[in-house]
Amino acid sequence: MLNFKELTQQTQLYNFHSHTQLCDGHATMRDFVAAAIGQGFTDYGFSPHSPIPFDSPCNIKMENVENYFHEFESLKEEFKNKINLYKSFEIDYIDSSWGPSNPYFDTLNLDYKIGSVHFIPHNGTHIDTDGSFNNFKIKMETFFNNDIRYVVDTFYRQTLEMINAGGFDIIGHFDKIGQNAGYFQPGIEEEQWYAKWIDKVITAIKDCNIIVEINTKSLAQHHRFFPNERYFHLLKKYAIPVIFNSDAHHPDLINAGRPEAISIYNNL
Ligand SMILES: [Zn+2]
Ligand SMILES: [Zn+2]
């Protein structure tokens, strides 16, 4: 695996979490490489939302995986003197049969793997709880009878299952549900039962030797990081390795929120 510790000690201009038109991003791989080089980045990783066993507009289609790898190899070769490029997936944990530990992902020769939860199981289907609060609100009513406790509990249960199943290097935005849940029910992240989930997740992470991403994509719009800044001291206390990723969906945003997060973290 990539030596993230060494790499992130040498440079702050890296990003290992990004999306292009192959999934729900808004530009080509080449546009992102040009932006990364333009901003002086030394290391840049592509991480399309992984293939999953059902239709989703946000995830790469299985039939496009070859195209992704082909374009990746060609860009890597073309820009090898300017930037280090890496291929990955942000792999969705769906259930015990599909997630980062699925052997399929080991056959792809990825440089590293991100494991993330976006979907909540519901009556044999899977509901994407990521995305805008407006959509989330509609889904809460349509599928979950507005039971926010169920959705949050299930999100963190899925997260713990994913950690236990393993097969990934970096855990993506491990408290992502906090944003929409916090809009749905302000103050929810301060509640004791919610804090207990965070404790459990951080304990599981520390025992598994995985890297926590500090995801900076929502700073400008939602004034928060994932995980929430209030947990940074716990990551430090347990000496959990962290990296700072922008989760960019647009080339202009490849460094968005990263300098702020790095500065806050390093000054703790
Ligand atoms: Zn994600
Ligand atoms: Zn992402």
pLDDT digits (tens, 9 = 90+) for 198-229: 999 999 999 898 999 999 999 999 999 999 99
Number of domains in the chain: 1
d(CA 233, CA 185): 25
User: Is 236 inside a domain boundary?
Assistant: yes
Please tell me the distance between residue 49's alpha carbon and the centre of ligand 2 in angstroms. 7
pLDDT at position 234: 97
pLDDT at position 11: 95
User: Is 4 inside a domain boundary?
Assistant: no
User: Is 165 inside a domain boundary?
Assistant: yes
pLDDT at position 143: 97
- Domain with 150, as residue range(s), is 14-266
pLDDT tens, position by position, 140-159: 999 999 999 999 999 999 99
SS3 (DSSP) at 43: strand
| Confidence check: pLDDT of 96 > 80 | yes
Question: What is the mean pLDDT of the segment spanning 25-42?
Answer: 97
Please tell me the distance between residue 203's alpha carbon and the centre of ligand 2 in angstroms. 23
d(CA 256, CA 268): 21
Please tell me the distance between residue 226's alpha carbon and the centre of ligand 2 in angstroms. 11
pLDDT at position 64: 96
Question: What is the mean pLDDT of the segment spanning 254-262?
Answer: 98
Q: What count of residues does the chain have? A: 268
Question: What is the mean pLDDT of the segment spanning 240-261?
Answer: 98
User: Is 235 inside a domain boundary?
Assistant: yes
User: Is 212 inside a domain boundary?
Assistant: yes
CA 227 to chain centre: 11
d(CA 174, CA 161): 13
User: Is 76 inside a domain boundary?
Assistant: yes
Pairing of strands 211-215, 14-15: unpaired
pLDDT tens, position by position, 149-190: 999 999 999 999 999 999 999 999 999 999 999 999 999 999
User: Is 107 inside a domain boundary?
Assistant: yes
pTM to 2 decimal places: 0.97
Please tell me the distance between residue 92's alpha carbon and the centre of ligand 1 in angstroms. 8
Please tell me the distance between residue 77's alpha carbon and the centre of ligand 1 in angstroms. 28
Question: What is the mean pLDDT of the segment spanning 57-86?
Answer: 97
List C-alpha distances in Å: 188 to 114, 177, 226, 230, 249: 27, 11, 15, 14, 28
| Confidence check: pLDDT of 1 > 90 | no
pLDDT tens, position by position, 35-55: 999 999 999 999 999 999 999
Average pLDDT, the chain: 97
Please tell me the distance between residue 9's alpha carbon and the centre of ligand 1 in angstroms. 25
What CATH number does the domain containing 75 carry? Answer: 3.20.20.140
User: Is 217 inside a domain boundary?
Assistant: yes
Ligand closest in space to the Cα of 176: 1
Q: Is 221 exposed, middle or buried (0-12, 13-18, 19+ CB in 10 A)?
A: exposed
Contact criterion met (CB below 8 Å) for 215 and 173: yes
pLDDT at position 244: 98
